[in-house]
Amino acid sequence: MSSDLEPRNGNAEPAVDDDNRYKAVQAKLDKLSKVLDDATLDLVALWRSMLANAKHTDGVATDIENADLDPKFVVLTANVATALDGAAREVRKLSDTAQETVDLTHETRRTHAKLYGALDDIRSNRREKTPRPGFFNR
């Protein structure tokens, strides 16, 4: 059984810069959540593929055993099936962690909007220049 997974060549460049303005932070959080969402989908597909390969390989081990081939080949093939199953479990854990990070990123974006959105609206709609954040903390 082969896998149809191919790496994506999307725009996955990190959004690291010194721009901490409200809209820039919102855009970075949005981009992060989208990249992680895509990674989660890819990881779920990989997990399913690995499980299918493990099941198929386990069937091959049974077929080898039923054909009365050398037992070492049965053991080796069964070991491959076990390794694939274990790797699939770890990919699933990684997928779950990526999904949890996506959820936290969405929550962070909402909290950031709740805390700073109104302030950004006020600052953005003024004709007068306003001090940068942190100016009054000196």
Written as six digits, the tokens of 89 are 């479990």
pTM over 0.95: no
- Taking only the tens place, the pLDDT of each residue in 24-47 is 999 999 999 999 999 999 999 999
- Taking only the tens place, the pLDDT of each residue in 121-135 is 888 888 877 777 677
- Taking only the tens place, the pLDDT of each residue in 99-117 is 999 999 999 999 999 999 9
CA dist., res. 50 & res. 97, Å (int): 18
CA dist., res. 56 & res. 45, Å (int): 16
**Alpha carbon 65 to chain centroid, angstroms:** 39
Residue carrying structure tokens 């390989």: 57
